[in-house]
């Protein structure tokens, strides 16, 4: 998948948010230059496209997938309960 093309396409919908932290996707050019990423998640029936902001990518790279997700669920819990 072409990340640049995908980012541009998602930008036109104005409905792009980071999958992890809900940061809104900026303009396409800014998203590309700051390092937003687009990934395919294979679902049970359909594959969905998810966006990952530069902050979450950096954190995930630093902590590792498992630890990152644990921090994330703690953060979500703190925000809602």
Binding site for Zn ion (CB under 5 A): 18, 20-21, 23, 53, 56
Residue pair 4/32 in contact (Cβ under 8 Å)? The answer is: yes
Nearer to Zn ion, 20 or 38 (CB): 20
Least distance to Zn ion from the beta carbon of 34, Å?
12
Nearest approach, Cβ of residue 19 and Zn ion (Å): 7
Smallest gap from Cβ 20 to Zn ion, in A, equals: 4
Query: What are 56's two structure tokens?
Result: 């979450």
Helix axis angle for 54-63 and 65-80, nearest 10°, is 120
């Amino acid at each position: 998948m072409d990340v640049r093309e995908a980012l541009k396409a998602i930008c036109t919908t104005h409905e792009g948010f980071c999958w992890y932290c809900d940061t809104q996707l900026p303009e396409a050019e800014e998203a590309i230059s700051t390092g937003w990423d687009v990934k395919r998640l294979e679902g049970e029936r359909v594959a969905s496209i998810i966006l990952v902001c530069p902050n979450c990518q950096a954190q995930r790279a630093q902590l590792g997938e498992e630890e990152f997700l644990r921090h994330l669920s703690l953060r979500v819990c703190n925000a809602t309960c």
